[in-house]
Chains A and B, each alone.
Chain A
Amino acid sequence: MSVMKRVSMMFRAKANKALDRMEDPRETLDYSYQTQLELLQKVRRGVADVATSRKRVELQINQLQQSSDKLDRQARDALGVGREDLARDALTRKAGVQGQLGDLNTQYQSLQAEEEKLTGASQRLQAKVDAFRTRKETIKATYTAAEAQTRINEAFTGISEEMGDVGLAIQRAEDKTAQMQARAGAIDELMASGALDDMVSGPHDDIQAELDRLGAGHDVDAELARMKGELSQGGAPKQIEGTEHADGASAAGAAGAVNDGQPTQASPADQPQAGDGA
């Protein structure tokens, strides 16, 4: 027999078994409605769980992306100062981070798809539960117990199939979320233990330290050259002295103007202004 037909029979068998357990039709209706509401709650929780998991992966993706960008910048800086060995180091680490990123992105997409599916399932179930509630009230009000039985069976079988489908969707989403959480947890642990840190930037970000050192050396050389230039012109010491005088005078002048002879309040009043400007 065909796959489609057999699966459908499995669902019906399940519904019939549940129906057989009920003795009073009204009990069937009310009990089933309760179960439906519980399942609705469960599927909504499922949607929230998948969303939480997705957001966590999103955060990790952002962190890894930042690391990757930083390593890229470092590689460029290193090349800029002629240190190909450092650049190679940074790019090797970046490749490792990119590998993790690729994995995470795939899983992120699969979680997103799962979230959409579960949201759809939740909406479909909601519509059927609403319909069932209306049907339930009509059956209770209009039909005798004997007549009601057939109608109850129809409604019950229909909604039971939807519930089975939603139940499967929840299971699938739970499996995916559990896998994802295990993976996200492993990456968090790697980050916490510093192992991923090693890959991202080295234990003490040795690449950055080396770049800083090269950068600082460069600045010192430039400053030395400038000072030598100034000294050779012979006017440098006077220029420094003059600058200091000018600064002191203008600061005193400004304080006097603003505070009108009350220098104790001058600095609190000036500080916020300086802060705003900065």
Chain B
Amino acid sequence: MIVRILGEGQLRVDDTATTELNELDAKLEATVERNDESGFRPALEELLGRVRAIGRPVEPGSLEPSELILPAEGATMDEVRQLLSGDGLIPG
């Protein structure tokens, strides 16, 4: 599957990694839900780090959409909330 890290581009990740990534993602989501600013950053970094470690860059000319999209490195909890609410943060 293809995973996009916002601000970095797309990576191809083996489907077998889905369970692992979902677990890390659940941890991240939990920090957003309980408004846990201090837990949020490490959780995001862990998820991004894992995707970078196992992913291979998608060829530049590919037009395939991503199955999963991750917030940019350094994104704030507020920005992630806006991304999730779809309140016009995504331009275009």
Interface residues of A (CB under 8 A from B): 2-8, 10-15, 18, 117, 120-121, 123-124, 127-128, 130-132, 135, 154-155, 157-161, 163-165, 167-172
Contacts and interface: CB of A to CB of B under 8 A. Distances in A.
B25 A3 contact: yes
Interface in B37-85: 60-72, 80, 83-84
A130 B62 CA distance: 10
Contacts of B65: 8, 11-12, 15, 154, 157-158, 161
Contacts, number: 109
B11 interface: no
B5 to A, nearest CB: 9
15 contacts: A2-B22, A2-B29, A4-B70, A7-B70, A8-B4, A10-B86, A12-B65, A14-B92, A132-B63, A154-B63, A161-B4, A167-B90, A167-B91, A168-B7, A171-B91
Given A3-B84, A7-B83, A164 B92 contact: yes
A127 B61 contact: yes
Closest 6 CB pairs of A and B: A167-B91, A127-B60, A158-B63, A131-B61, A4-B68, A8-B69
B61 A130 contact: yes
Contacts of B92: 14, 18, 160, 163-164, 167
A117 to B, nearest CB: 6
Given A121-B7, A161-B4, A135 B63 contact: yes
B91 A4 contact: no
Nearest to A127: B60
Given A165-B6, A172-B72, A4 B25 contact: yes
A120 B7 CA distance: 8
Question: Most A CB atoms within 10 A — which of B7, B21, B71, B84?
Answer: B7
B7 A8 contact: no
A71 to B, nearest CB: 35
B22 to A, nearest CB: 6
Interface of B: 3-4, 6-9, 21-22, 25-26, 28-29, 32, 60-72, 80, 83-84, 86, 89-92
B84 A7 contact: yes
Contact of B62 (A121, A158, A165): A158
B62 to A, nearest CB: 7
B26 A2 contact: yes
A13 B86 contact: yes
A4 B3 CA distance: 9
A164 B91 contact: yes
A160 B66 CA distance: 11
A168 B69 contact: no
A172 B22 CA distance: 27
Contacts of A164: 90-92
Contacts of B90: 10-11, 14, 164, 167-168
A158 B8 CA distance: 15
Nearest to A131: B61
Nearest to B27: A3
Given A124-B9, A168-B91, A4 B63 contact: no
Given A3-B29, A127-B61, A154-B63, A120 B9 contact: yes
